[in-house]
Amino acid sequence: MIRAVAYLDLLGFKDFMSRDKEGAIRLIWNYEIIIGNKLIADGIHPVASYAGPLQKVAEKRSADKFDYFLPFSDSLAIVSKDSNVEIFLKQVDLAPEN
């Protein structure tokens, strides 16, 4: 199966780590909590349950195309669930606006 990987570098993270290690760790945890909450929300109210134009908004704000979220060092890697790269990139917020 073809998948996409988004590799995101957190600019200034190493400097932040040298100034406030606990704050930097909380930042990574916050990312993980946000993604986890999005996945829970997607399970409760999936994208397909929205009507009309709201479905496009819900699709972009969802994380239902994320399979793995891997924070490490000063970077994040997010792996797509399937080969629907267009929606995955919108959810990572890397796709150009239409």
pLDDT in tens, 34-87: 888 888 888 899 999 999 999 988 888 888 889 888 888 788 899 999 887 888
Q: How far apart are CA 98 and CA 95, in angstroms?
A: 9
pLDDT in tens, 29-45: 888 888 888 888 888 99
Beta strand extents in 1-98 (DSSP E only): 5-9, 66-72, 75-80
Give pLDDT, residue 11.
85
Beta bridge partners of 69: 78
Q: Residue 76: helix, strand or coil by DSSP?
A: strand
**pTM of the entire structure?**
0.73
**CB of 17 within 8 A of CB of 10?**
no
3 has a pLDDT exceeding 60: yes
The residue among 3, 1, 48, 10 whose CA lies nearest residue 30 is 10
Give pLDDT, residue 16.
87
